[in-house]
Chain A
Amino acid sequence: MVEKFGEQVSAFSEPYGMLTFEAPKELNLKVLNFLYDDDELKFRFLTDLQAVHYPDNKGRELAVVYHLHNLVDNVRIRFKVFSDINTPDVYTATGLFSGANWMERETYDFFGVNFVGHPNMKRILNVDEMDYFPMRKEFPLEDQTRIDKDDEMFGRG
Protein backbone atom coordinates (compact mmCIF):
# COMPACT_ATOMS: atom_id res chain seq x y z
CA MET A 1 0.00 0.00 0.00
CA VAL A 2 2.63 2.50 1.07
CA GLU A 3 4.86 1.18 -1.73
CA LYS A 4 2.28 2.10 -4.30
CA PHE A 5 0.95 5.40 -2.91
CA GLY A 6 3.93 6.56 -0.89
CA GLU A 7 3.36 9.36 1.57
CA GLN A 8 -0.11 10.11 0.21
CA VAL A 9 -1.82 7.49 2.35
CA SER A 10 -1.39 8.52 5.96
CA ALA A 11 -2.74 8.56 9.49
CA PHE A 12 -2.67 4.82 9.98
CA SER A 13 -4.20 3.88 13.30
CA GLU A 14 -6.21 1.08 14.80
CA PRO A 15 -9.13 2.46 16.84
CA TYR A 16 -11.30 -0.32 18.32
CA GLY A 17 -9.18 -2.91 16.54
CA MET A 18 -9.96 -1.84 12.99
CA LEU A 19 -7.21 -0.55 10.73
CA THR A 20 -8.03 3.00 9.67
CA PHE A 21 -6.21 5.30 7.27
CA GLU A 22 -6.86 8.29 5.06
CA ALA A 23 -5.92 9.52 1.61
CA PRO A 24 -6.43 12.70 -0.44
CA LYS A 25 -9.93 12.75 -1.87
CA GLU A 26 -8.65 12.79 -5.46
CA LEU A 27 -7.11 9.38 -4.84
CA ASN A 28 -10.14 7.69 -3.33
CA LEU A 29 -10.99 5.63 -6.42
CA LYS A 30 -7.37 4.61 -7.01
CA VAL A 31 -7.08 3.41 -3.42
CA LEU A 32 -10.41 1.57 -3.55
CA ASN A 33 -9.47 -0.03 -6.85
CA PHE A 34 -6.13 -1.12 -5.46
CA LEU A 35 -7.76 -2.63 -2.38
CA TYR A 36 -10.30 -4.37 -4.61
CA ASP A 37 -7.93 -5.78 -7.24
CA ASP A 38 -4.93 -6.75 -5.18
CA ASP A 39 -4.66 -10.53 -4.95
CA GLU A 40 -3.84 -10.47 -1.27
CA LEU A 41 -6.03 -7.64 -0.02
CA LYS A 42 -9.28 -8.53 -1.83
CA PHE A 43 -11.45 -5.90 -0.13
CA ARG A 44 -14.40 -6.51 -2.42
CA PHE A 45 -17.36 -5.73 -0.21
CA LEU A 46 -18.44 -2.21 0.73
CA THR A 47 -20.09 -2.59 4.14
CA ASP A 48 -20.95 1.04 4.64
CA LEU A 49 -20.27 4.50 3.35
CA GLN A 50 -21.12 7.67 5.18
CA ALA A 51 -19.86 11.10 6.08
CA VAL A 52 -18.90 12.94 9.25
CA HIS A 53 -18.97 16.68 9.71
CA TYR A 54 -16.14 18.24 11.74
CA PRO A 55 -16.96 21.97 11.79
CA ASP A 56 -13.73 22.92 13.62
CA ASN A 57 -11.49 21.11 11.14
CA LYS A 58 -11.01 24.05 8.74
CA GLY A 59 -10.42 23.11 5.13
CA ARG A 60 -11.30 19.45 5.75
CA GLU A 61 -14.70 19.66 7.43
CA LEU A 62 -16.33 16.71 5.72
CA ALA A 63 -14.96 13.19 6.08
CA VAL A 64 -16.29 10.48 3.79
CA VAL A 65 -15.74 7.09 5.39
CA TYR A 66 -15.66 3.77 3.55
CA HIS A 67 -15.98 0.53 5.49
CA LEU A 68 -14.52 -2.32 3.47
CA HIS A 69 -14.66 -6.04 4.11
CA ASN A 70 -12.49 -8.82 2.82
CA LEU A 71 -14.99 -11.67 2.78
CA VAL A 72 -12.38 -14.35 2.13
CA ASP A 73 -10.20 -13.66 5.17
CA ASN A 74 -12.89 -11.84 7.19
CA VAL A 75 -10.85 -8.66 7.62
CA ARG A 76 -12.38 -5.22 7.81
CA ILE A 77 -10.75 -1.81 7.27
CA ARG A 78 -11.89 1.78 7.42
CA PHE A 79 -10.79 4.30 4.81
CA LYS A 80 -11.39 8.06 5.04
CA VAL A 81 -11.10 10.96 2.66
CA PHE A 82 -11.49 14.55 3.82
CA SER A 83 -13.00 17.39 1.86
CA ASP A 84 -13.47 21.13 2.16
CA ILE A 85 -17.12 21.93 2.92
CA ASN A 86 -17.19 24.60 0.20
CA THR A 87 -16.19 22.13 -2.52
CA PRO A 88 -17.64 18.84 -1.31
CA ASP A 89 -16.87 16.96 -4.52
CA VAL A 90 -15.77 13.35 -4.15
CA TYR A 91 -15.55 10.78 -6.94
CA THR A 92 -18.32 8.22 -6.83
CA ALA A 93 -17.61 4.59 -6.01
CA THR A 94 -20.66 3.32 -7.90
CA GLY A 95 -18.48 2.06 -10.75
CA LEU A 96 -16.72 -0.27 -8.35
CA PHE A 97 -19.51 -1.14 -5.88
CA SER A 98 -23.12 -1.08 -7.07
CA GLY A 99 -24.20 -0.93 -3.44
CA ALA A 100 -22.60 2.49 -3.13
CA ASN A 101 -25.44 3.99 -5.16
CA TRP A 102 -27.99 4.40 -2.35
CA MET A 103 -25.33 4.94 0.31
CA GLU A 104 -23.95 7.88 -1.64
CA ARG A 105 -27.43 9.27 -2.15
CA GLU A 106 -28.01 9.06 1.60
CA THR A 107 -24.68 10.77 2.27
CA TYR A 108 -25.63 13.50 -0.18
CA ASP A 109 -29.05 13.79 1.44
CA PHE A 110 -27.74 14.35 4.96
CA PHE A 111 -24.32 15.94 4.45
CA GLY A 112 -24.38 17.42 0.95
CA VAL A 113 -21.38 15.52 -0.31
CA ASN A 114 -21.52 15.81 -4.09
CA PHE A 115 -20.41 12.49 -5.58
CA VAL A 116 -19.01 13.31 -9.00
CA GLY A 117 -20.20 10.84 -11.63
CA HIS A 118 -23.05 9.35 -9.60
CA PRO A 119 -25.85 8.24 -11.97
CA ASN A 120 -28.74 9.61 -9.87
CA MET A 121 -27.55 12.23 -7.39
CA LYS A 122 -30.72 13.26 -5.55
CA ARG A 123 -32.28 12.95 -2.10
CA ILE A 124 -33.26 9.47 -1.00
CA LEU A 125 -34.75 9.68 2.52
CA ASN A 126 -35.83 13.26 3.11
CA VAL A 127 -38.50 15.20 1.28
CA ASP A 128 -37.38 16.60 -2.06
CA GLU A 129 -38.34 20.14 -1.02
CA MET A 130 -35.75 20.20 1.77
CA ASP A 131 -33.22 22.93 1.01
CA TYR A 132 -30.50 22.10 3.53
CA PHE A 133 -28.44 19.13 4.69
CA PRO A 134 -29.80 18.28 8.14
CA MET A 135 -26.89 16.33 9.62
CA ARG A 136 -24.42 19.17 9.17
CA LYS A 137 -23.67 20.62 12.56
CA GLU A 138 -24.73 24.19 11.77
CA PHE A 139 -28.38 23.14 11.51
CA PRO A 140 -30.33 22.60 14.74
CA LEU A 141 -31.99 19.24 15.04
CA GLU A 142 -35.43 20.71 15.68
CA ASP A 143 -37.76 21.59 12.87
CA GLN A 144 -37.31 25.31 12.26
CA THR A 145 -40.64 25.75 10.47
CA ARG A 146 -42.83 24.99 13.48
CA ILE A 147 -44.78 27.89 14.95
CA ASP A 148 -46.85 26.26 17.65
CA LYS A 149 -44.13 25.21 20.06
CA ASP A 150 -42.85 27.96 22.31
CA ASP A 151 -39.15 27.65 23.07
CA GLU A 152 -39.68 29.09 26.56
CA MET A 153 -41.93 26.19 27.48
CA PHE A 154 -39.27 23.68 26.47
CA GLY A 155 -36.46 25.34 28.42
CA ARG A 156 -34.51 26.56 25.42
CA GLY A 157 -35.62 30.18 25.40
Chain B
Amino acid sequence: MGRPVSYNVNVKPLEKDISIAGMPDGHQGEGFFATKMSDVVGLARKNSIWPLPFATSCCGIEFMATMGSHYDLARFGSERVGFSPRQCDLLMVMGTIAKKMGPVVKQVYLQMAEPRWVIAVGACACSGGIFDTYSVLQGIDQVVPVDVYVPGCPPRPEAIIDGVMRIQDLIGKESLRRRNGDRYKQLLESYGIQ
Protein backbone atom coordinates (compact mmCIF):
# COMPACT_ATOMS: atom_id res chain seq x y z
CA MET B 1 0.00 0.00 0.00
CA GLY B 2 1.26 3.40 -0.91
CA ARG B 3 2.10 6.05 1.57
CA PRO B 4 -0.93 8.22 2.37
CA VAL B 5 1.18 11.33 2.00
CA SER B 6 2.30 12.09 -1.53
CA TYR B 7 5.10 14.58 -0.96
CA ASN B 8 8.57 13.70 -2.18
CA VAL B 9 7.75 10.25 -3.53
CA ASN B 10 9.51 11.02 -6.80
CA VAL B 11 13.18 11.22 -6.03
CA LYS B 12 14.76 14.08 -7.88
CA PRO B 13 18.44 13.62 -8.70
CA LEU B 14 20.55 16.26 -7.06
CA GLU B 15 22.31 18.27 -9.72
CA LYS B 16 24.85 19.84 -7.48
CA ASP B 17 25.50 19.80 -3.77
CA ILE B 18 25.03 23.52 -3.59
CA SER B 19 22.56 25.25 -5.83
CA ILE B 20 22.51 28.97 -6.34
CA ALA B 21 19.63 31.08 -7.51
CA GLY B 22 19.33 31.17 -11.28
CA MET B 23 20.12 34.25 -13.31
CA PRO B 24 17.14 36.27 -14.54
CA ASP B 25 16.54 36.84 -18.25
CA GLY B 26 18.60 39.64 -19.71
CA HIS B 27 21.36 40.68 -22.05
CA GLN B 28 24.95 40.14 -21.23
CA GLY B 29 28.22 40.79 -22.82
CA GLU B 30 31.75 41.29 -21.67
CA GLY B 31 31.67 43.04 -18.31
CA PHE B 32 28.00 43.86 -18.21
CA PHE B 33 24.67 42.27 -17.60
CA ALA B 34 21.41 44.10 -18.25
CA THR B 35 18.06 42.95 -16.93
CA LYS B 36 14.84 44.30 -15.55
CA MET B 37 14.86 46.11 -12.24
CA SER B 38 11.88 44.10 -11.02
CA ASP B 39 13.73 40.83 -11.69
CA VAL B 40 16.72 41.89 -9.65
CA VAL B 41 14.58 43.16 -6.79
CA GLY B 42 12.44 40.03 -6.93
CA LEU B 43 15.52 37.81 -6.90
CA ALA B 44 16.90 39.59 -3.86
CA ARG B 45 13.61 39.65 -2.00
CA LYS B 46 12.55 36.10 -2.61
CA ASN B 47 15.74 34.54 -1.36
CA SER B 48 15.84 36.45 1.89
CA ILE B 49 12.35 36.34 3.29
CA TRP B 50 12.08 37.13 6.97
CA PRO B 51 9.14 35.14 8.29
CA LEU B 52 7.12 36.21 11.29
CA PRO B 53 5.63 33.08 12.86
CA PHE B 54 2.20 33.60 14.38
CA ALA B 55 1.80 30.12 15.81
CA THR B 56 -1.21 29.31 17.95
CA SER B 57 -1.44 25.53 17.85
CA CYS B 58 -0.26 22.25 16.34
CA CYS B 59 0.61 23.76 12.95
CA GLY B 60 3.12 25.86 14.86
CA ILE B 61 4.80 22.64 16.02
CA GLU B 62 5.06 21.52 12.40
CA PHE B 63 6.59 24.90 11.59
CA MET B 64 9.17 24.37 14.33
CA ALA B 65 10.06 21.07 12.64
CA THR B 66 10.29 22.97 9.36
CA MET B 67 12.69 25.45 10.91
CA GLY B 68 14.74 22.68 12.49
CA SER B 69 17.78 20.99 11.00
CA HIS B 70 15.88 18.10 9.46
CA TYR B 71 13.76 20.13 7.03
CA ASP B 72 15.72 23.35 7.42
CA LEU B 73 13.90 26.34 6.01
CA ALA B 74 17.29 28.08 5.96
CA ARG B 75 17.97 26.34 2.64
CA PHE B 76 15.45 28.74 1.12
CA GLY B 77 16.93 31.85 2.62
CA SER B 78 14.33 32.19 5.34
CA GLU B 79 16.25 31.13 8.40
CA ARG B 80 15.99 34.51 10.05
CA VAL B 81 12.71 34.29 11.92
CA GLY B 82 11.85 37.71 13.23
CA PHE B 83 9.65 38.29 16.21
CA SER B 84 9.03 41.93 15.48
CA PRO B 85 6.44 42.56 12.77
CA ARG B 86 8.20 45.77 11.75
CA GLN B 87 11.21 43.84 10.43
CA CYS B 88 9.42 40.97 8.71
CA ASP B 89 8.11 40.38 5.20
CA LEU B 90 6.08 37.22 5.58
CA LEU B 91 3.36 36.72 8.17
CA MET B 92 2.90 32.99 8.74
CA VAL B 93 -0.37 32.34 10.56
CA MET B 94 -0.34 28.79 11.87
CA GLY B 95 -3.21 27.49 13.90
CA THR B 96 -6.71 28.25 15.07
CA ILE B 97 -7.49 31.94 15.29
CA ALA B 98 -10.31 32.61 17.72
CA LYS B 99 -12.57 35.57 16.98
CA LYS B 100 -11.01 37.38 19.89
CA MET B 101 -7.58 36.84 18.32
CA GLY B 102 -8.71 38.26 14.94
CA PRO B 103 -7.97 41.92 15.79
CA VAL B 104 -4.52 40.87 17.03
CA VAL B 105 -3.68 39.23 13.68
CA LYS B 106 -4.87 42.34 11.91
CA GLN B 107 -2.80 44.59 14.13
CA VAL B 108 0.31 42.49 13.52
CA TYR B 109 -0.37 42.73 9.78
CA LEU B 110 -0.76 46.50 10.01
CA GLN B 111 2.51 46.82 11.88
CA MET B 112 4.41 45.10 9.06
CA ALA B 113 5.95 47.36 6.45
CA GLU B 114 5.19 46.99 2.75
CA PRO B 115 5.88 44.83 0.86
CA ARG B 116 4.35 42.13 3.02
CA TRP B 117 2.98 38.69 2.33
CA VAL B 118 0.71 36.39 4.32
CA ILE B 119 0.63 32.61 4.32
CA ALA B 120 -2.17 30.71 6.08
CA VAL B 121 -0.83 27.37 7.28
CA GLY B 122 -3.27 24.61 8.14
CA ALA B 123 -6.98 24.05 7.86
CA CYS B 124 -7.83 26.30 10.81
CA ALA B 125 -6.05 29.36 9.50
CA CYS B 126 -7.42 28.73 5.99
CA SER B 127 -11.06 28.05 6.81
CA GLY B 128 -11.65 27.48 10.51
CA GLY B 129 -11.00 23.78 10.01
CA ILE B 130 -12.89 21.45 12.31
CA PHE B 131 -13.69 24.33 14.63
CA ASP B 132 -16.95 25.31 13.01
CA THR B 133 -18.14 27.09 16.12
CA TYR B 134 -19.26 30.44 17.43
CA SER B 135 -15.90 31.39 18.87
CA VAL B 136 -13.50 30.64 16.00
CA LEU B 137 -12.72 32.84 13.02
CA GLN B 138 -13.65 30.92 9.86
CA GLY B 139 -10.41 31.62 8.02
CA ILE B 140 -7.98 34.48 8.53
CA ASP B 141 -8.86 35.88 5.10
CA GLN B 142 -11.78 37.50 6.90
CA VAL B 143 -9.37 39.92 8.58
CA VAL B 144 -6.21 40.06 6.42
CA PRO B 145 -5.51 39.34 2.73
CA VAL B 146 -3.81 35.97 2.26
CA ASP B 147 -1.36 35.10 -0.53
CA VAL B 148 -0.87 31.37 -0.08
CA TYR B 149 -3.00 28.77 1.70
CA VAL B 150 -1.35 25.56 2.90
CA PRO B 151 -3.93 22.81 3.52
CA GLY B 152 -3.53 20.02 6.04
CA CYS B 153 -4.40 19.30 9.63
CA PRO B 154 -1.62 19.89 10.42
CA PRO B 155 0.35 20.12 7.15
CA ARG B 156 3.61 18.22 7.03
CA PRO B 157 6.82 20.25 6.97
CA GLU B 158 7.14 19.44 3.27
CA ALA B 159 3.81 21.15 2.68
CA ILE B 160 4.89 24.23 4.62
CA ILE B 161 8.11 24.34 2.57
CA ASP B 162 5.99 24.05 -0.57
CA GLY B 163 3.91 27.00 0.62
CA VAL B 164 7.03 29.05 1.29
CA MET B 165 8.37 28.21 -2.18
CA ARG B 166 5.09 29.34 -3.72
CA ILE B 167 5.44 32.59 -1.79
CA GLN B 168 8.95 32.86 -3.24
CA ASP B 169 7.50 32.43 -6.74
CA LEU B 170 4.97 35.18 -6.04
CA ILE B 171 7.63 37.50 -4.66
CA GLY B 172 10.00 36.85 -7.55
CA LYS B 173 7.38 37.59 -10.17
CA GLU B 174 5.74 40.54 -8.47
CA SER B 175 5.70 43.76 -10.42
CA LEU B 176 7.32 46.69 -8.66
CA ARG B 177 4.21 48.79 -9.18
CA ARG B 178 1.75 46.27 -7.79
CA ARG B 179 1.66 47.76 -4.30
CA ASN B 180 0.87 51.20 -5.71
CA GLY B 181 -1.83 49.97 -8.05
CA ASP B 182 -5.54 50.61 -7.75
CA ARG B 183 -6.33 46.92 -7.53
CA TYR B 184 -4.09 46.45 -4.51
CA LYS B 185 -5.54 49.55 -2.85
CA GLN B 186 -9.03 48.20 -3.43
CA LEU B 187 -7.98 44.90 -1.90
CA LEU B 188 -6.71 46.62 1.22
CA GLU B 189 -9.77 48.83 1.39
CA SER B 190 -12.01 45.79 1.28
CA TYR B 191 -10.31 44.79 4.55
CA GLY B 192 -10.65 48.29 5.96
CA ILE B 193 -6.89 48.93 5.79
CA GLN B 194 -5.64 52.29 4.58
Contacts of A145 in B (CB 8 A): 138
Set of chain A residues within 8 Å of B128, measured between Cβ atoms: 143, 146, 149
- Alpha-carbon separation in the docked complex, A146 to B138 (Å): 7
0/1 per residue, B123-135, Cβ < 8 Å to A?
Answer: 0000110001111
User: Closest CB-CB distance, B112 to chain A, in whole Å?
Assistant: 24
CA–CA, A140 and B24, complex, Å: 55
B100 close to A127 (CB less than 8 A): yes
Contacts of B99 in A (CB 8 A): 126-127
Among A127, A145, A148, the one with the most B-chain Cβ atoms within 10 Å of its Cβ is A127
> Would A148 and B127 be within 8 Å (CB), given that A142-B132, A142-B133 are in contact?
yes
Q: Please indicate the chain A residues that have their CB under 8 angstroms from the CB of B136 in the complex.
A: 143
B139 within 8 A of A: yes
Tally inter-chain residue pairs, CB-CB below 8 A: 37
Q: How large is the interface on B (under 10, 10 to 19, 20 to 34, 35 or more residues)?
A: 10 to 19
Contact of A134 among B100, B132, B134, B139 (CB under 8 A): B134
Q: Are A143 and B138 in contact (CB under 8 A)?
A: yes
A145 to B132 alpha-carbon distance, docked (Å):
11
> Of B134, B135, B138, which is in contact with the most chain A CB atoms at under 10 Å from its CB?
B134
Contacts of A154 on B, CB cut-off 8 Å?
Answer: 132
- Chain B 97-135 interface mask (CB, 8 Å, partner A; 1/0): 001100000000000000000000000000110001111
Identify the closest chain B residue to A147 (Cβ): B138
**Interchain CB contact (< 8 A) of B135 among A126, A144, A146, A149:** A126
Docked Cα-Cα span, A154 to B99, in Å, equals 22
- Across the interface, do A141 and B100 meet the contact criterion of CB distance under 8 Å? no
- The distance from the CB of A60 to the nearest CB of chain B, in whole angstroms, is 25
A141, A148, A149: the one contacting B134 at CB < 8 Å is: A141
Are the C-beta atoms of B138 and A148 separated by less than 8 Å?
A: yes
Residues of A within 8 A of B100 (CB): 125-127
* A141-B133 contact given A148-B138, A148-B139, CB 8 Å threshold: yes
A130 neighbours in B (Cβ, 8 Å): 134
Q: What residues of A have a CB within 8 angstroms of the CB of B135 in the complex?
A: 125-126, 134
- The docked-state distance in angstroms from the alpha carbon of A146 to that of B127 is 10
Is A5 interfacial (CB 8 A cutoff)? no
Q: A54 to chain B: which residues have CB within 8 Å? A: none
Nearest A residue (CB) for B133: A141
CB proximity to B under 8 Å, residues A122-157: 125-127, 130, 134, 139, 141-146, 148-149, 154
Q: Can you sample 21 A-B contacts with CB below 8 Å?
A: A125-B100, A125-B135, A126-B99, A126-B100, A126-B134, A126-B135, A127-B100, A134-B134, A134-B135, A142-B133, A142-B134, A143-B128, A143-B132, A143-B134, A145-B138, A146-B128, A146-B132, A148-B139, A149-B127, A149-B128, A154-B132
With A141-B134, A142-B132, A143-B128 given, name 4 new contacts (CB 8 A): A134-B135, A141-B132, A143-B138, A148-B127
